[in-house]
Structure 1
Amino acid sequence: MAGSTRQGGVVTNDLPVGRRVAYWRARRNMSQQVFADRLGKSKSWVDKVERGVRRLDKWSVLQEVADTLGVTADVLVDDTNPPAPTPPTSRSPDVEVDTVRAALTRHPGILRPPADHVPVDPYKYRARIVHADAMYQHAQYPALLRLLPGLLDDGHDLAAPARPGLQVRTYRLTASVLVKLGAHELAWLAADRGLSVATTTDEPLLEAAAALPLGTALRVAGRHRAAFETTITAAHQIAPLTPDAGTPSERSACAALLVQAALAAAEHDDPPTVIELLDGAATLTGPDTPERAAVDAARITATTTLGDHRTAVELHAALAVRDRWWSLPVEHRAAYLIDMAPAHLSTGDPTAAGRALLDADRLAPAEVRVRPAGRAVLAEVLTGSPRPSPHLLAVAQAAGMRGAW
C-alpha cells in the first residue's frame, strides 16, 4: 500500500480521500452498513468510495460524508495530518437553537446597503439550500442548525427577483428543523415569516409550500384547529378539480397539505375527516411514489393518534414490505418508526417497540438521541420493557440519558 503509513495511531498525510473516510469511519466504530444507512447510501457505495473506485468529486457529498463522520471536510482532503477526532455534536442543540433564534431576531433587510454593495449570488445561495435540505433529509440536525443563521441573514441580501422563493425555502427548512428539536414557538415564527414572504408574490404554489410548515408548527404546538384551517385553506387554493388535473407539483403540494390537515384532525379526534382527507391525498399521488408512501405513513400515524394501535401495527406490517416505503427520506422513515414504537408497546409487544427504535437509530441517530420526542419515546419503551434490550440501553447511554431501567 504505497504512500500509506500510520504513526502513533494517527494516519499520515499521504492517504487518499477514500482511505481517510475508512479511517475515520473505523474511529467512529461504524460498520460500512451503519455508515451507509446514516448517509442514505448503499453499503456498496461506501465500499467503492473507501477503495477509491468511486471519487467524492462533489463538495456537497464530501461535506455530507464529513458531517456524518464528525470531522470537517478539510480533514478528508487537506495535505495536513487530520486532527484528533471531535464528537459529532460537540455543542448542545439548545445552544445551536439559540443562534437560530438570534438570526430570526435580526432584521438586516431593513438596513440600507452601501452604494457599492453586491447582493448575494442566488445560484450559490440555492446550492447552499440544496446542501441544507440534504442534511435535513438525513437528520443531521446539529450540523444543519449551524448553517441556518447564515442562510437566514443572507436571505435578506439576495437580488430582488430571486429573493421570495429562496427565502421561503430557508424559512420552511428552519421551521422544520425547529419542530424536530421541540422549539415549537420559534418554528411557528419562522414558518409565519415564510408565509408572509410567499403571500407577496401572488404565486399559489409558493404560498402552499409556505403554509405546510406553518400547519406543522401549529399542530405540534397543540393548536390543532388553527393547523387544520391553515392547511385545508392552502390545499383548496391549489386543489385540482379532478385527481389527474393540475401539474405534478400542484398535486404533490395539495396532497402534502391534506396529510397535515388529516393529522390535525386526528389530534382533534375526528376519524371521518381523517379518512376523507387521506383518501383525497391518496388520489393525488401515484401508487409507487414517495408521496403515496408519505400518505400511507400518515394514515398509520393518524390511526395511532386515534388510539387504534392494533390496526396501526397491522397497517405498518403491510407498508414496511412495499418498495415505496424505501423511497421516503431517511429522516421521514426514522421519525415514523419512532411514532410506531408506542403502538407496539400498547399492543403488549415491547420487543417490537425496541426494534422500531433501534431501526430508527440505525437510520438517523439524531432522531432518537437528539430529538426530544425521540428521547421521550426511548424512555417510555425502556421503562415499559421488562427486560430492555442491551442495544437499546447502549443507545440511551450514548444519548446521555439516565433512568431506572
Structure 2
Amino acid sequence: MKLDEAHLAWLAADRAMSVATGDRTSLGCAAVRLGQVLRTSGRVRSVMLAAAYQIAPPDPDTGEPQEVSLCGALLVQAALIAATSGDDRATADLLDEAADMATRVGEGHDHHHTAFGPTAVELARVAAAVELGDGPEVLVRHDKAIGRDGWRWLPVEHRAAHLVDAARAHLQAADHTDAARLLMQADSIAPAEVRHRPAVREVVAHVARDSDAPATITQLAISLGLG
C-alpha cells in the first residue's frame, strides 16, 4: 500500500521525536516540524502542547531567547491546529500566550530556525482567522502584518506561506483577482511553497478555474499540471 505524503511526514517526524527523547531542544524542534506538516491532526495538537511546556523556561521573563522562541513556535503550531478544528477559544488563548513570548524575543531573530517574533505571531493570527472563516478580519490583519518592520526579516518561505493564506482569505470573499495576485507574489519569492505543497496547489487550481482568472495564474496552473 502506497503511503501518502501526510503519512510519510508523520513517520519522519515521529522518528525524529523518538531520536530526540531526552533532549528538550531537539524534541521541540522535531515537534515544530511535525505540526507544520500535519496541522489537521488532533493528536499532533497534544504533542505540540506537551513539547511546548516541556521546553518552557521556569520563568519566561528570564528565559533564554532560544528556548522562549521554541516554546512560542510550538504554541503557534498548537493554535493553528486548534483553528483547523474550529476551536476559536483555544486558538485565541494560545496565540495570546505566544504573543507575550514574542514580545520578549523581539523581531529579526531566527532561533532554532523558527523565525519566531511578534510579526510571526501576527501572521499566525491571519492563518488562524482563515481557518475559522473570519474573512474581513483576515484582510485587515494581513495589511497590518505586511506593513510591520519584522515582515522583511522573515524567511521568504514564511512570507510566501502567509501570502497564500491571504489569497485564501480573498477566495473566501470571492475576490479571485487579488487571490491570484497574492499567489503570483508567493510564487515569485518562494516557488517551492507554491509548487510542491498539495494544499497550496489546490488554492491555485481553485483560482485558475474562475472564468476571469488572470492569464498569469492560468499559466501557473498549467505549469503545475493543474490545467
TM-score between both structures, scaled by the size of structure 2: 0.88
2:75 pairs with one of 251, 258, 274: 258
Q: 1:369 to 1:204 in 2, by over 3 A?
A: closer
Instruction: Give the alignment of 1:5-404 within 5 angstroms.
Output: 183-199=5-21, 202-219=22-39, 222-224=40-42, 226-285=43-102, 286-289=105-108, 290-292=115-117, 293-383=119-209, 385-402=210-227
Rg comparison, structure with higher value: 1
Query: Tell me, what secondary structure is at the counterpart of 2:213?
Result: coil
The Cα RMSD (Å) is: 1.9
Q: Within 2, Cα distance between the matches of 1:350 and 1:218?
A: 27
Q: Within 2, Cα distance between the matches of 1:377 and 1:316?
A: 18
- Tell me the CA shift for residue 287 of structure 1: 4.1
The CA deviation at 1:288 is: 2.7
**For each residue in 1:39-72, what CA deviation from the matched residue of structure 2 results, as whole angstroms up to 9, or x when unmatched?**
xxxxxxxxxxxxxxxxxxxxxxxxxxxxxxxxxx
How far is the alpha carbon of 1:313 from its aligned partner?
0.9
User: What SS does structure 2 have at the residue aligned with 1:291?
Assistant: coil
Whether the aligned pair in 2 keeps the contact of 1:338 and 1:356 (CA below 8 Å) is: yes
* Alignment deviations for residues 271-294 of structure 1 (CA, whole Å, 9 cap, x no partner): 111111111111112343341222
One-letter amino acid of the structure 2 residue matched with residue 239 of structure 1: A
The 2-side partners of 1:363 and 1:241 are apart by 39
Separation (CA, whole Å) in 2 of partners of 1:232 and 1:356: 32
CA contact 2:207–2:217 (8 Å) conserved in 1: no
Residue identity opposite 2:30 in structure 1? A
Deviations 1:172-231 (A, max 9, x none): xxxxxxxxxx711011111111111111xx322222122222233442xx322x111100
> Aligned partners of 1:391 and 1:217: how far apart in 2?
28
Q: CA deviation at 1:355?
A: 0.7
The amino acid across from 2:36 in the alignment is T
Matched length: 217
- Within 1, Cα distance between the matches of 2:224 and 2:30? 33
Take 1:277 and 1:362, find their aligned partners in 2: how far apart are those partners? 32
Query: How far 1:348 sits from its partner (Å)?
Result: 2.9
Counterpart of 1:160? none
Q: Secondary structure at the match of 1:240?
A: coil
State the distance in 1 between where 2:11 and 2:84 align. 22
Partners of 2:127 and 2:194 lie apart in 1 by 17
Change in Cα spacing, 1:264 to 1:245, as seen in structure 2 (3 Å) is: same
1-side partners of 2:163 and 2:191: how far apart? 12
8 A contact 1:191–1:213 mirrored in 2: yes
TM-score by length of 1: 0.51
- With over 3 angstroms needed to count, the CA separation of the structure-2 counterparts of 1:215 and 1:348, relative to structure 1, is closer
Report Cα offsets for 1:369-399 as digits up to 9, x if no partner: 332222210111122x341111112212222
Would the alpha carbon gap of residues 368 and 209 (structure 1) be closer, same or farther in structure 2, given more than 3 Å must change?
Answer: closer
Distance, in Å, in 2 between the alignment partners of 1:378 and 1:196 is 36
Identity %, equivalent residues: 44
Kindly tell me: are residues 368 and 218 of structure 1, through their superposed partners in 2, closer, same or farther at Cα, counting changes over 3 Å? closer
Tell me, in whole angstroms, the C-alpha distance in 1 between the residues paired with 2:140 and 2:76: 20
Residue 367 of structure 1 and its aligned partner are, at CA, apart by 2.2
Give 1:214's aligned amino acid. L
Aligned AA for 1:370?
A: H
Separation in 2 of the partners of 1:327 and 1:236?
27
